[in-house]
Amino acid sequence: MEMAPGGIPLAEGGPDRDGLEMDVLTVRLGPVLPHWPAGLVLHCSLQGDVVGSARAELLDATGDLQNAADGPARRLDRVASVLALAGWDDAAGEARRVRDAILDGGPEPTDAMLARLRRKVCRSWVLRRSLRGLRPLDEDDIDHHGLPVSAVGDSYDRLTRMLDRAVVAGDPPGHESGPAISTDHLAHLVTGLDLATARLVVAGLDVHDLRAGQVEHEVAHG
């Protein structure tokens, strides 16, 4: 018998990681969220705050994302997202300021600003602690999930790499964008993580381009 107080069905129990039963909440992430790839929708089943299973889809997949000639600026946007999700608003604000400076033009001061930001980020042991070991990926995983080579390592590696590549300004757009990431694989990457780390992992992937998956199957944990 299903009860629905106020028109919302009660959460049903489901097997949890520890072998016990826990309520399953269906939560949709996206398509519009701060620090989130635009258009990505993640249909999650949450137990507590752990993503038990997820299905990803892409809204408005025809959107032209390739006209972004400003590689470093976009990358700094993502850096700012990761920092904001890691709860470091000040550093995120600084990353956004560097991004604005880059978009405004004027190459000399931005290099120094970038270097300062990079130093600040790399010096923080709390940040390193919270990002180290998050969804580590090796070469095989990369091949399997169709991710760019720059995704090797854990979220901390990916963040520092993004910063490094933002420093190397002016690489041609599309040069290292690699293959578009399929939404199917994205769902795999966040399954079994809690909401906060899932968001950190998604933001930390240098996602240039998302491709709607061929198979929109549900990815379950386990």
Partner 1 sequence: MADPMAMPGPGSPTMEVAPAWAVAAVALLGALVVVAALLDGILASRASGGPGRTMSGLARPFGEAARLMRQRRRTTVQADTVLWRIGGAGLLVTAALMVTVVPLGDWTVFDLDVGVMWFNAMDVMVWALVWLAGWGANSAHALVGGYRFLAHGLGYELPLMFALVAPAIAAESLNVGRVAAAQEGLWFVVWMPVAFLVYLLGVAAFSVWGPFAPALGSDVAGGVRAELSGVDRLLFETGRYALLAAGAAFAVPMFLGGGAGPLLPGWAWVLVKTLAVLTVLVWLRRRLPAFRPDTFMEVGWMVLLPAVLVQDLLVAVIAVWRS
Out of 80, 91, 190, 201, name the contact with partner 1 by CB under 8 A: 91
Q: Which region, judged by CB under 8 A, interacts with partner 1, from 60-68, 161-169, 191-199, 204-212?
A: 191-199
Taking the complex as a whole, how short is the minimal distance between the CB of residue 48 and partner 1, in angstroms? 6
Considering the rule CB under 8 A, would residue 106 count as an interface residue with partner 1?
no
Binding mask 17-46 for partner 1 (x = CB under 8 A): --------x-x------xx----------x
DSSP conformation letters of 70-138? -HHHHHHHHHHHHHHHTT-HHHHHHHHHHHHHHHH--HHHHHHHHHHHHHHHHH-HHHHHHHTTSS-B-
User: How would you class 195 by CB atoms within 10 Å of its CB: exposed for 0-12, middle for 13-18, buried for 19 or more?
Assistant: middle
Which whole-number Å values give the CA distances from 138 to 46, 69, 71, 135, in the listed order? 27, 29, 25, 10
Task: Return the number of the residue (58 or 85) whose C-beta is nearest partner 1.
Answer: 85
Out of 60, 64, 90, 108, name the contact with partner 1 by CB under 8 A: 90
Binding mask 136-175 for partner 1 (x = CB under 8 A): ----------------------------------------
Number of Cβ atoms within 10 Å of the Cβ of 166: 25
Residues with Cβ within 8 Å of 37's Cβ and at least 6 positions away in sequence, in order, are: 30, 202, 207, 210
Considering the rule CB under 8 A, would residue 88 count as an interface residue with partner 1?
yes
76 neighbors 96 (Cβ within 8 angstroms): yes
Q: Give contact residues for partner 1 (rule: CB under 8 A).
A: 5-8, 25, 27, 34-35, 46, 48-49, 83-91, 93-94, 97, 124, 126-127, 129-130, 194-197, 199
